[in-house]
Amino acid sequence: MGRTEHAAALPARAPAAGAALNGSPARDAVVRTALLALCLLLAPLAQAAPRIGVATMLPGEIFFERFGHNAIVVDDPALPEPVSYNFGFFDMEEPGFMARFVRGDMRYRLVALPLSHDLAYYREVGRGVSIQWLDLDPAQAGALAAALAENARPENAVYRYDYFTDNCSTRVRDALDRALGGALRRQVAGRSRGNTFRGDAVRLASPAPWMWLGFDLGLGPAADRPNSLWEDAFVPMRLADVLAGVHLDDGRPLVIATEEILPHRLAPEPPESPRRWWPWLLAGLALAVAIRLAAPRHPRVVAGAAMALWTACTVLGAAMLFLWVGTGHRFAWANHNLLLFPPLSLLLLHGGWRIVRGRAPGVAFRVLAWAVAACAVLALFLHLLPVLPQRNAHWIALMLPVHLALAWALAARPRATG
């Protein structure tokens, strides 16, 4: 601010200089006006440009913190402390929040707050925070700071959130890309490490079994397309890795320094590991053998266990079907797991109950049981097709033997059981 005041004071000496050039008051006025305009143009340049950083917060223990978080830090010398531009704010108490969450129509917003205030929570819960300071030129840094300030205004701050394509991390990525004139996307959009939305979602959710099971069962084939590094940036830690490898047009690295702000005191981020399907197949075959051996002697017990499975299939299948036809969660659409957990299983419960009571299940039960098994076979066929297969081989390996064994053991019984 002091530099601005000093620059503005220069025209006060202009009249003397103008008088030395000529004695015309009109010419003096022109000179004074020109010098004033020049000083006003140069005044912003006299200020130090803000320093821009990307803060990466490691995963927490609450379910919505499992993916980590990030924010853009603007360290402006004209301000008392750095400002954190955080795209991850939402309000569960907002009217209609849960209904919009279920429909896939969530609303998040950008909030600008002092960096110390933003860090206080992460310090309290033990989540690690680091900042990558970026080598932006003054014009880029100033433009980004101005754009973020405008975006944080109440009328501009709210956006429609998507887990994979428009979240707190992709908003940081996109803001940086605009400041760099598209250079970030040009460098990383054509490169891939083979990661997928499903892979990262299941990996990061793995400490909570209910959460990773929900992602793995609920995501459709669209979540299994290999991502570019650009798309990988939906995970804040992936974005930090991407930024570390980006270079400016003159070859300089974009990240000039990485500073650890807070140590991480929680469990580390789950590592990458291959998904093996053969243990699931062993479990499926073991269950199938147990069903086949137990059914002749204990049909009622097997039927009771089958009813529990069919009830679970009905509930899970109905949820998958609802996500497909009734919500905006597009990565859950056309889910092949519907064939492994078909809502059609609901119709088997009546026949299963008849077997439990020692009666014949009926012809319709036999047809339906083999239809459910056929759905599982169809899931295997779709998996083997080369056109965007869904990475659900482990679920096929588990459920296909079980459905076939139940159809063979229960639906093939022609008479009532005593």
Report residue 183 as tokens: 């250079």
The CB-based long-range contact list for 326-332 (8 Å cut-off, 24+ gap) reads: 326/103, 327/102, 327/103, 327/104, 328/103, 328/104, 328/105, 329/104, 329/218, 330/104, 330/222, 331/163, 331/164, 331/197, 331/219, 331/220, 331/222, 331/223, 332/218, 332/219, 332/220
If asked whether residues 170 and 236 sit together in one domain, one would say yes
pLDDT of residue 388: 74
pLDDT for 413: 54
**118 and 239 both lie in a single domain:** yes
Encoded amino acid at 221, one letter: P
Helix (H) or strand (E) holding 370: helix 363-384
**β-strand partners of 277:** none
Q: What is the pLDDT of residue 39?
A: 42
Q: What is the pLDDT of residues 356-373, one digit of tens each?
A: 999 999 999 999 999 999
Report the distance separating Cα 293 and Cα 287, nearest Å.
10
With contact defined as beta carbons under 8 Å apart, do 372 and 342 qualify?
Answer: yes
Integer Cα distance of 53 and 71 in angstroms: 8
Q: How many domains does the chain have?
A: 3
173: closest CA among 86, 77, 243, 256? 243
Residues 255 and 122 in one domain: yes
Residues of the chain with pLDDT under 50: 1-46, 415-418
- Same-domain check for residues 304 and 397: yes
Give the model's pLDDT for residue 165. Answer: 97
* Same domain as 241, residue 167: yes
Q: What share of the chain is helix, strand, coil (3-state, %, to 5)?
A: 55, 10, 30
308 torsion bin: left (phi>0), alpha (psi -120 to 50), beta (else):
alpha
| Shared-domain flag, residues 162 and 284 | no
The Cα–Cα gap between 245 and 404 comes to 50
Burial label for 234, CB within 10 Å (0-12, 13-18, 19+), is: buried
What the block records as the tokens of 368 is 């339906």
Residues 167 and 181 placed together within one structural domain of the fold: yes
Distance between CA atoms of residues 81 and 113, nearest Å: 10
The residue with tokens 């009734």 is 326
The gap from C-alpha 95 to its chain's centroid, in whole angstroms, comes to 24
Q: Strands 255-262, 158-161: parallel, antiparallel or unpaired by DSSP?
A: unpaired
CATH for 258 = 3.90.1720
Same domain membership, residue 70 and residue 27: no
For 172-191, the pLDDT digits (tens) are 999 999 999 999 999 999 99
Joined tokens for residue 38: 């020049």
Q: Are residues 37 and 77 in the same domain?
A: no
Which residues touch 22 (CB under 8 Å, ≥6 apart)?
Answer: none
**Tokens in use for 37?**
């305009």
The secondary element (H helix, E strand) that includes residue 149 is helix 138-151
pLDDT at residue number 5: 26
DSSP classification of residue 328: S
* Residue 357 maps to a domain: yes
CA distance 28 to 14: 8
Which residue, among 225, 161, 211, 148, has the nearest Cα to 390 in the 3D structure?
225
- Shared-domain flag, residues 75 and 180: yes
Query: Quick one: DSSP state of residue 225?
Result: S
Domain identity same for 70 and 20: no
What backbone phi and psi angles, to 5 degrees, belong to 133?
Answer: -85, 130
Q: What is the pTM of this model?
A: 0.85
In sequence order, the β-bridge partners of residue 84 are: 73, 113
Instruction: Answer yes or no: is 380 within a domain.
Output: yes
Amino acid at 38: L
**Structural domain containing residue 251:** 51-192+227-262
In the prediction, which pLDDT does 301 show?
96
Give residue 310's Cα distance to chain centre.
32
d(CA 197, CA 330) in angstroms, rounded, equals 12
Give the integer Cα–Cα distance in Å for 158 and 368: 49
Q: pLDDT at position 254, please?
A: 98
317 and 237 together in one domain: no
How do strand 129-134 and strand 83-89 relate by DSSP bridges?
A: unpaired
Pick from 387, 350, 388, 391: nearest CA to 367: 350
- What is the per-residue pLDDT for 309? 98
